[in-house]
Amino acid sequence: MTYAITQTCCSDATCVAVCPVNCIHPTPDEPDFGTTEMLYIDPKSCIDCGACADACPVDAIFPVDRLTGPLKRYEAVNAAHYEGRDPAPVPASPTFHPWGAPSFTRSLPSDFAPLRVAVVGTGPAGMYAAEDLLLHTNAEVTLIDRLPVSGGLVRYGVAPDHPGTKGAGDTLARFHTHPRATVRLGVEIGRDVTPEELAAHHDAVVYAVGAPSDRRLGIPGEDLPGSLSATSLVSWYNAYPETAPDTVALDTDALRATGRAVVVGTGNVALDVARILVSDPAALAGTDIADHALAALRGSRIREVVLLGRRGPEDAAYTASELLALGHLPGVDLVVDTHDPRIAEAVDAAGTGEKAALLKDVARDTVDWSRGPDTGRRRIVLRFHSAPEEAVGPDAVRAVRTGGADLPAGLLVRAIGYRGVPLAGLPFDETTGTVPHTAGRVDGMTGTYVVGWIKRGPSGGIGANRACAAETVGSLLADAVDGRLPQPTGTAKAFGRLARARTGRLVDARGLAAIDRAERARGAAAGRPRVKLATVPELVAAARRGRLRGPAV
């Protein structure tokens, strides 16, 4: 028996580090690390020790004899990565994967003085940086977030029906109570505390603020009611406290008339949006989806979601695992619209491993858009070579024009990428939506660093932040060893007093734990893993109730 890596792989390579026979690839020091969609276990070399499954932060690794339903396919997916063709029977003798030469990229002197580092942003990028500092140095870390709760992309970006992926947040959350970590949530840098004040109380500052905005389509009618960004829709169904419950309406007159939503984009976020919009609300009721979103989905008029891809199926941005998941939604059909002969040609000609080949087993149809969707079943339609030209409607979105024809629809969602926003006191590249840097060092600002999407742009999933954080922390430590970091003039306690005086919603580690308890208790009462507190006042109130039970952290 062997193990296999499945759909929710985050590629953070924790499993690689614990494998005793080097059978999980690509490894972080191999050229294709970060370019493959996931990591793979070689079935010819796996010794069935289970160390990788124990270490996986997102519960993506299982023995192949326990794979059932849609996951069964991943036995072949893992094997095919090593065979380069359809998997053959596994021979009795193992394949030897040679170990690379040991590499020690950091060298800290024995008398290395403790650093005091602020990490701004508590999503995966920030927490991987904090983990690196806390586990591998004697640094003291201040964890800062503008919201009164931690988690970032894991809490507010991962789809609610992907609980395994959300497990990465629980793994990283253990550092909230690390003895050398201090939690200061509800503090916005640039509003409550200036960047200069933050830097004055720390040896170094690492900004991990992500890419909270979105790219626009630039078409007429984009600002009509019924047109919104995937960023808004995702934050709406994930109970983001700054997204109002009425941000998304799923029972409008336009949706009653058409039963159809159009999502522009073919990346994983676009597929997440499509899947949530057509999923059975009864299945979502067992997740941590926002209460207001669940209620809206129960009354939704959407029967069909059309995914518009500007280019062909060979250039689709989704990963194989996310597309495979669409083909197993109960009561939902997945169809490729073959309106353009190039689409079928690309799929039929695709070789094993090519993106278009993923659609070989998907149903095809030349869809007649003048007819409404079948009311008996729900449907997701992939329509390639279809750039949106206009959102049509005098008062709200009634159709989306593509290829000169109008596609009737009552909701238009743009899912064509995230974008970073300027940060107070830091340089910003408007073209890339990132902070200019060199290996994580912010250009022209000694002692200031960036990590994650604000550093490299909105690419790569949760696990990609581990290697990104390692580079940034490596630069920070090298600067410290070389004596290039400025000396702080304030103390950690002084910063705590400053932050508390500037904001009325400061949440510490004890308050954060109280929020978690409150949400889990609400979930237990409803038969769900948790029910999120959906507003800033609710979060702060829950934190304060927890602080009354003991001394502040």
Three-class DSSP labels, 469-480: HHHHHHHHHHHH
pLDDT in tens, 387-402: 999 999 999 999 999 9
Residue 551 has pLDDT above 60, yes or no: no
Choose among 314, 324, 352: nearest CA to 84: 352
**pLDDT value for 553:** 42
DSSP strand pairing (181-185 vs 405-408): unpaired
DSSP strand pairing (411-414 vs 260-264): parallel
Q: Which range is least confidently modeled, 194-198, 472-476, 542-546?
A: 542-546
CA dist 527 and 525 (Å) reads: 6
**pLDDT value for 402:** 95
pLDDT in tens, 46-69: 999 999 999 999 999 999 999 998
Query: 3-83 maps to which CATH number?
Result: 3.30.70.20
**pLDDT value for 152:** 94
Q: Which range is least confidently modeled, 141-145, 247-251, 323-327, 390-394?
A: 323-327
CA dist 534 and 246 (Å) reads: 13
- CATH 3.50.50.60 residue window(s) in the chain: 220-416
HSE-up of residue 98 (Cα within 13 Å, Cβ side): 2
- CATH 3.40.50.720 residue window(s) in the chain: 116-212+420-506
Q: Which tokens go with 441? A: 């060092």
Please name the helix (run of DSSP H) or strand (run of DSSP E) that holds residue 456, with its range, or none.
Answer: helix 453-456
At 479, the pLDDT band (50, 70, 90 cuts) reads: very high
Q: Which CATH class is domain 116-212+420-506?
A: alpha beta
Q: Report the pLDDT averaged over residues 39-43.
A: 94
| Maximum Cα–Cα distance across the chain | 74
**pLDDT value for 139:** 96
At 325, the pLDDT band (50, 70, 90 cuts) reads: confident
Q: Report the pLDDT averaged over residues 408-424.
A: 95
Residue 85 has pLDDT above 50, yes or no: no
**pLDDT value for 86:** 42
Please name the helix (run of DSSP H) or strand (run of DSSP E) that holds residue 297, with its range, or none.
Answer: helix 291-298
SS3 label, residue 489 = coil
Q: Which tokens go with 500? A: 């508390």
CA dist 266 and 401 (Å) reads: 18
Q: Tell me the pLDDT of the chain averaged across its residues.
A: 92
CA dist 112 and 165 (Å) reads: 36
CATH assignment of 220-416, among 3.50.50.100, 3.50.50.60, 3.90.550.10, 3.20.20.70: 3.50.50.60
Where is pLDDT greater, at 416 or 91?
Answer: 416
Indicate if the alpha-carbon torsion angle 129, 449, 553, 149 is positive or negative. Answer: negative
Q: Which tokens go with 326? A: 């669409």
**pLDDT value for 281:** 96
**pLDDT value for 180:** 97
Q: Report the pLDDT averaged over residues 344-367.
A: 92
- CATH 3.30.70.20 residue window(s) in the chain: 3-83
**pLDDT value for 92:** 52
Q: Report the pLDDT averaged over residues 380-388.
A: 97
Pair 241, 268: CB distance under 8 Å: no
Residue 550 has pLDDT above 50, yes or no: no
HSE-up of residue 419 (Cα within 13 Å, Cβ side): 17
Q: Which range is least confidently modeled, 122-126, 249-253, 269-273, 367-371?
A: 367-371
**pLDDT value for 406:** 95
SS3 label, residue 549 = coil
Choose among 146, 156, 145, 162: nearest CA to 240: 156
pLDDT in tens, 260-302: 999 999 999 999 999 999 999 999 999 999 999 999 999 999 9
Q: Report the pLDDT averaged over residues 97-119.
A: 88
**pLDDT value for 374:** 67
Residue 105 has pLDDT above 50, yes or no: yes
DSSP strand pairing (304-308 vs 116-120): unpaired
**pLDDT value for 472:** 98
Phi/psi of residue 49, nearest 5 degrees: -85, -25
